[in-house]
A and B are shown apart, each in its own frame.
Chain A
Amino acid sequence: MNHQVYKSHKNALPGPNNISRVVLSNGITILTRSNFNSPTLSIKGYLPNGSIFDPEEILGLSYLTAHGLMNGTQRYDFQHLYDKIESVGARLGFSAGTLTTSFSAHCLSEDLTLMMGLIADSLRTPTFPEREFQRQKTQLLTSLAIRAQDTSAMASLLFDQTIYANHPYRHPDEGHPETVQAITREDIVDFYQRTYGPQGMVVVAVGAVEPETVIETVSEVLGDWSNDKQTALPNIPDAPALQTTTRKSLSIPGKSQADIVMGFAAPNRQSPDYFPLRIGNNILGEFGMMGRLGQRVREEAGLAYYAYSSYSAGLGPGSIEMIAGVNPTNIEQTIQLITEELTQFIAQPVTPEELSDSKSYFLGRMPLLLESNSGVAVALLNMERFELGLDYFHQYPQNIQAISAEQILSASQRTMDPDRLAIAIAGP
């Protein structure tokens, strides 16, 4: 259906016929797609490193390294570098996740060469000046102090520590105040030398440029990059389910609202359970006004402004999280309502009407997700990272339509056991 809708438009569905993919000899993959509807360009990409490499006593190391790349390069100091970017109204930033260091740039298409040059400079010749390093460390410590006061962020942190107990994912990418305090500039330089390099790097550019121009430009600035010491990502172990329901609470005095995160570790992006769980989660806590959870907790009980669920799935174990922000006196009632909904969800298949609605939602959402250059760039990155294939969007309608209520039920039963729930609460 959606493919038909797209056929009459200039902005065709991304697919093998309009995506160019090239792998350079040093291991960098380039994906690019032209869109001349507006004179803008989105450049995104990642390197396969991240907080997975952080030693426990200096968590936050990969975060500070990624954010330090633009503190100065051999060619430009901090102000000079940002002057280049901001003078043309562009944006560039690096950020660290658990398994990736990502970058994202937005600019006018005429500034492709400038921006790729700055990305390459930041990646290849960062100088990590001491003064800027200390300033960035203070900024991170302040944001950790702010995080400590954020009921939503702290409940999420507690939740990760519960579902990923004894798993590398239990650590936050930004670290903790004491681990960040212990990081030195030498740690950063060492981390950079060990984990940054072209192997496994991906660059995506979408916008008003020809594919050949993108490939030439990236090859020019990154094609001869090498690092013999670059460490490959380790294999990520599974996260075993909890043996029993585990509840953790954190008191943050003076707050008005408590945040609750309940849920489970969940299958990764490449699991056969991915689509059943994606649709199942939509029905449970996303569709319309936050699905069944929103209906029960907000629309019927009036207990919360938000009560929803989300399913995150990457290369390692993902998570299903059911989230609500409530008055502290309503915590127990909310947990009970969510647990009841969950129990019901794994006892009975979703109704034909719910399934049809949800599938229709996913198919209808495609043109909206792919409207902007950055939306298409994210889609291309995911295609590469999770090996989805360049024809992913052409296959997508069939993949969605093929899912049955029984598949959703069995995938949900495998993943969500109300007797093995993780419950994390942060509030006054």
Chain B
Amino acid sequence: MKNEDTLFYTLDNGLTVHLKEIHNAPIISTWVWYRVGSRNETLGKTGISHWVEHMQFNGTKKFPKKVLDRQISRVGGIWNAMTYLDWTTYFETLPAHVFEISLALEADRMANSRFDPDEVDRERKVILSEREGNENQPHFLLGEAVQETAFQNHPYKNQVIGSTNDLLSITRDDLCGHYKQYYHPGNAILAIAGDFKADQMQKNIEETFGKIPDGRQVASAIPADPPLNGERRVEVEGPGETTYVQISYRAPKANDPDFFILTILDSLLSGPTSLNMFGSGGTSNKTSRLYRALVEDEIAVSCFGALQATLDPYLYTLHLTVHPLHSPEEVLQAVDTELNRVLDAPITRDEIARAIKQAKALFAYSSENISNQAFWLGYSEIFANYDWFENYVTHLAKVTPEDVMDIARKYLTPKNRVVGFYLPQKDQTKA
């Protein structure tokens, strides 16, 4: 769009800066991305990245805990943080005339978080409670078992929230060490989108982030796991009367050309993926192949697919809720029948054209919201670069029917997957 300009540069201390002017609404969204997540965790310390994220809300000398929270909330701002496999991110979306607080706050907590011992112990209890809330969900229990089985050594096998044992044993020193290792300009991306002038914003950034000394570069390569070389099965029993199936295939990393081809295949199989992290967008998946074969034919009651943009090869996952009159084996068989159909009767150019048209609309929705635009401005840099997102539709448009068949053969085979069943416990009075 004409009124949108991007500016990408690096500060002397190593901080990557991505700016995008958008003057549609009096709002500025500021994101700081750190290249650290569960991918960077070792056994015995799982959940430490997420815990450090929690500690980042517990104050610095300049912005004590309650002051920090109050300053953002007072101006009606939205602020939060997320930790995932490859990254930890912090954001503030604020009315434009008061946005400066976000720069001051993020620059300060990049280097000066306090890690008060009492707060560390209190936060341990909060995170254990968060984990217990997750454990109430069958999808979490099944996902945890599947993920652990899908990788041998790669840290992607661990849950972002961490294991209960690790959460009980991680110390304040561990947290401080993790923070010092990963939180510095050389390991971060600052992404800002919204109603500002880039030249003035550059000055503001220099005055706040420019003063932070650079830290050590963080080695990032993690050896790839060997291929699965055979289907793995995992069963979880738990309360309830509903059966779930999760099928996870080892998938390409985001900046592998295979990723866009698998995106098209996923769109045909389970429906197109929304690019909108915030607000509306997305479409239903009732004309997708798996919905028609499984839900319309009443073998499952719901199905959806998830392909995630990651730094290392991760998983392409199908989630299915089993119809009460059918078994998980029947669901698996029906999925395989559909996957075989991709190989037996090649998909057509029309189907691909339709998937691209859908992606175009979803891309347009993603531009409606400034927080979402700032999100992609930083997120895409974590695993590839902004071109990945900006030219998303163009990348998809290059995919051919032959590509899709090759990708189906390469990735969506039984020997490359973990199949997980969540089965209702037999005697639930003892649960």
Q: Which residues of A contact B (CB under 8 A)?
A: 2, 5-6, 8-11, 37-40, 42, 78-79, 82-83, 85-91, 93, 106-108, 135, 138-139, 141-142, 145-146, 148-151, 252-257, 287-289, 298-300, 302-306, 325-327, 357, 360-368, 370-375, 428
Contact residue among B26, B282, B298 (Cβ-Cβ distance under 8 Å from A6) = B26
Contact residue among B73, B239, B298, B367 (Cβ-Cβ distance under 8 Å from A252) = B239
Q: Given that A107-B361, A138-B324, A146-B240 are known contacts, is A305 also in contact with B425, CB under 8 Å in the complex?
A: no
Give per-residue flags for B325-366: 1 if the beta carbon is below 8 A from chain A beta carbons, else 0. Answer: 000000000000000000000000000001001111110110
Q: Say yes or no: A254 contacts B129, CB within 8 Å.
A: no
- Bound CA span A372–B281, Å: 11
- Bound CA span A88–B195, Å: 31
Contact residue among B69, B94, B136 (Cβ-Cβ distance under 8 Å from A256) = B136
Please give, as numbers and ranges, the residues of chain B lying within 8 Å of A11 by CB-CB distance. Answer: 24-25
- Bound CA span A350–B129, Å: 30
- Total of A-B residue pairs, C-beta within 8 Å: 216
Q: Report the minimal beta-carbon distance from A103 to chain B, rounded to whole angstroms.
A: 13
Please give, as numbers and ranges, the residues of chain B lying within 8 Å of A5 by CB-CB distance. Answer: 26, 95-97
Q: Say yes or no: A257 contacts B74, CB within 8 Å.
A: no
* B231 interfacial by beta-carbon distance below 8 Å: no
Q: Say yes or no: A360 contacts B74, CB within 8 Å.
A: yes
- Bound CA span A246–B323, Å: 38
* B428 interfacial by beta-carbon distance below 8 Å: yes
Q: Say yes or no: A253 contacts B133, CB within 8 Å.
A: no
- Bound CA span A93–B283, Å: 10
Q: Say yes or no: B324 contacts A141, CB within 8 Å.
A: yes
Q: Say yes or no: B286 contacts A86, CB within 8 Å.
A: yes
Q: Say yes or no: A374 contacts B280, CB within 8 Å.
A: yes
Q: Mind listing 26 A-B residue pairs with CB under 8 Å?
A: A8-B26, A10-B23, A10-B24, A38-B364, A40-B364, A83-B287, A86-B285, A86-B286, A89-B362, A91-B281, A93-B284, A138-B298, A139-B301, A145-B242, A145-B324, A148-B241, A256-B131, A256-B132, A288-B69, A288-B70, A327-B128, A327-B129, A357-B74, A361-B74, A367-B25, A372-B368
Q: Which of B238, B286, B292, B357 has the most CB of A within 10 A?
A: B286
* B122 interfacial by beta-carbon distance below 8 Å: yes
Q: Say yes or no: B431 contacts A253, CB within 8 Å.
A: yes
Please give, as numbers and ranges, the residues of chain A lying within 8 Å of B286 by CB-CB distance. Answer: 78-79, 82, 86
Binds A, one of B75-83, B146-154, B202-210: B75-83
Q: Say yes or no: A88 contacts B368, CB within 8 Å.
A: no
Q: Say yes or no: B129 contacts A372, CB within 8 Å.
A: no
Q: Say yes or no: B298 contacts A135, CB within 8 Å.
A: yes
* B37 interfacial by beta-carbon distance below 8 Å: no
Q: Report the minimal beta-carbon distance from B170 to chain A, rounded to whole angstroms.
A: 15
